Amino acid sequence: MSMSKQEALHEVANRIANCQKCKFSPDQNPVPGEGNPDAEIMFIGEAPGAKENETGRPFVGAAGKFLSEMLNSIGLEREDVFIANALKYQPPENRDPLPEEIEYQKPFLLKQIAIIKPKLICFLGRHALKAVLPQITEPISKLHGQLLSIENQAYLPLYHPAAALYNGSMRQTLLNDFAKIPEIMDRIG
């Protein structure tokens, strides 16, 4: 009998937890991602921060609170979607992920996408976009809020909630882009 999505996601989470080369220090907690295995929408962030490393859960700090608010603003709860990151461990001093780190951990993210099969993948920031669609070279400032359809998969690039949190105009842009999601879901069926 084939594995359920939940079981398959657990298996990926176990592989992440056992990936010594993925860790930046031996005592780090893995942050594989969480949410509804049958989610129609998947959100992909950059990498865990301090709070995420502490708890093993994605987007539970200030950026995560804003993400939850934005989900609520379109009638969704965190439990309705799946939330993951390009990197599964917190980089030292919260520095940007290096291209080789993204590349090394990418199979975990691609496997999660393949299991969940979301109708829409929302990138939270340029690192998530770059991880999944390295062929896209336009900056997120150009692409945000615009639906991309590549090989039968719908993608929506968005600003990162941490970048937008304390920047009034970027915050409003992110809220406006989020507001497009219900209509996009109707459109892509």
101: contact with ligand URA by CB under 6 A: no
Q: Which of 4/55 has CB closer to ligand URA?
A: 55
For residues 4 and 37, give the distance between their C-alpha atoms in angstroms, rounded to a whole number: 9
Q: What is the CA radius of gyration of the chain?
A: 16
User: Which residue, 72, 92, 69, 89, is CA-closest to 80?
Assistant: 72
Give the residue closest to ligand URA by C-beta: 45
Q: Which of 49/145 has CB closer to ligand URA?
A: 49
Name residues contacting ligand URA, limited to 39-58 (CB under 6 A). 45-49, 52, 58
* Chosen residue from 22, 39, 63, 121 binding ligand URA by CB under 6 A: 63
Phi, psi of 156 (to 5 degrees): -125, 105
33: contact with ligand URA by CB under 6 A: no
- 3-state SS, residue 137: coil
Least CB distance from residue 187 to ligand URA, whole Å?
Answer: 27
User: Helices 168-179 and 62-73: crossing angle, nearest 10°?
Assistant: 40
Distances 161 to 9, 32, 127, 167 between C-alpha atoms, Å: 25, 19, 13, 10
For residues 55 and 52, give the distance between their C-alpha atoms in angstroms, rounded to a whole number: 5
Least CB distance from residue 32 to ligand URA, whole Å?
Answer: 11
* Chosen residue from 156, 162, 164, 181 binding ligand URA by CB under 6 A: 162
Q: Which of 59/178 has CB closer to ligand URA?
A: 59
Least CB distance from residue 189 to ligand URA, whole Å?
Answer: 29
Q: Which of 47/156 has CB closer to ligand URA?
A: 47
Least CB distance from residue 114 to ligand URA, whole Å?
Answer: 21
Query: What is the dihedral angle through the alpha carbons of 178, 97, 103, 127, rounded to the nearest 10 degrees?
Result: 20
59: contact with ligand URA by CB under 6 A: yes
Give, for 153, the enclosing helix (H) or strand (E). Answer: strand 153-158
Binding residues (CB under 6 A) for ligand URA: these are 45-49, 52, 58-59, 61, 63-64, 85, 162
